Structure 1
């Protein structure tokens, strides 16, 4: 029963990210933390990496490779900031700051702001994403918001490439830290069929989203992530 419930959580997250471009951690991690905490964070990170690879294979022709490079360049100092924030600041204050920034960007986008993936914007988004992802596990919205006006395949492919590189860096760090073991690999392997099922369901779903619904989905999911982070901060 536990495997089935955990699998449904993974499949749902895979469906959302395969359709919108991000959100697997946002959807799956809170559920898995209740159903089977052993799947968080290392097995889930492995699954997220596998999902990003599947998406990249499907959407690589539409990926903004230059944008990925600039965002990753910003992510490196962002990771350092996130580590420093975890060490020096109360988690709730940092989480609150990230949530407020994301909600502010969503609000501006709804009103009149039209963000573009320029080099300075990508560098800043990479810094914020790296810091937020390291300290709170919610790193997708800052970069996704820059591509909200792009077509769906562009959003999914670009974020997939960004997530592959970022997740592999994180896994390498966890491996060096001794947190990746045989149990984590086995736990992730059990969830792979559910991940593939959710990803497969995203094929027809993304066609529906690409009919003009990509931007509302990105904004809604980014806002949802910020609200979830606010709730996590309040409960913490």
Structure 2
């Protein structure tokens, strides 16, 4: 693998730490990887967005889901998947206009803050085929542009038992990442350098998932999410202060 395809060591290490911590949070709560990793990468390695975040996100979502596949609410997946496909298609047109410009970092910053707000306002929305489709569609747009597609679905599952909630959200996240990869590829904004960077970060995913196994027994979602939201907010505000 050519080193010219990767960021310098300092930015690479910052992104690696963000991916590692984001993977832990994603495994334990079903959301959080994109909110943590996307703003950090936009700060230190913006040329590798959004493809790297989305590519690594697929492995995180799939690995996290497989670790708790017996808890997935399989009947909820089809309408959410359909919404994800629609959202990814819409986002592909937007991505062609903003990827590679300063506007993408601004979009990342504001989507992180929007995602944090969604997590904090505590909406109580019933899980129906319609709400799953809408949440999937919104998540598809957000996730394809920035890798932050979990918050809309996290709202629906906020009152579901922790393990079932995290497992089902990770199933949505892995499928959403896969559709986002396809959409970015079709839109012509998925590059070889993004693939190379994702490949260099991917080995951190199984390591973080392995470390998360004993933590999953100790931590409830409410114990770890406030810290993740706080870190995501700080990262987004720093990013916006550099971009605006």
Is TM more than 0.5 here?
Answer: yes
Please indicate the TM-score interval, normalised by the length of the shorter structure: 0.7 to 0.9
Q: CA deviation at 1:35?
A: 3.1
Cα offsets for 1:36-69 (capped at 9, x unmatched): 3344221221111011111121111111122122
Q: CA deviation at 1:122?
A: 1.6
Equivalent-residue separation in structure 2 for 1:20 and 1:145 (angstroms): 12
TM-score normalised per structure 2: 0.74
Q: CA deviation at 1:215?
A: 4.6
Aligned length: 229
Within the alignment, does 1:191 sit opposite 2:201 as a pair? yes
Q: Pairwise CA RMSD of aligned residues?
A: 3.6
Aligned twin of 2:100: none
Residue pair 1:15, 1:199 contacting (<8 A) in 2 also:
yes
Aligned twin of 1:56: 65
Query: For residues 227 and 76 of structure 1, do their structure 2 counterparts lie closer, same or farther at Cα, with a shift above 3 Å needed?
Result: farther
Query: For residues 30 and 103 of structure 1, do their structure 2 counterparts lie closer, same or farther at Cα, with a shift above 3 Å needed?
Result: closer
Query: For residues 164 and 86 of structure 1, do their structure 2 counterparts lie closer, same or farther at Cα, with a shift above 3 Å needed?
Result: closer
Greater alpha carbon shift after TM alignment, 58-67 vs 115-124: 115-124
Q: Which runs of 5+ in 2 are unaligned?
A: 1-8, 98-102
Within the alignment, does 1:6 sit opposite 2:18 as a pair? no
- SS state of the match for residue 67, structure 2? helix
Within the alignment, does 1:148 sit opposite 2:162 as a pair? no
Q: Which runs of 5+ in 1 are unaligned?
A: none
TM-score normalised per structure 1: 0.76
Residue pair 2:118, 2:155 contacting (<8 A) in 1 also:
no
Residue pair 2:22, 2:34 contacting (<8 A) in 1 also:
yes
Within the alignment, does 1:165 sit opposite 2:175 as a pair? yes
Aligned twin of 2:120: 106
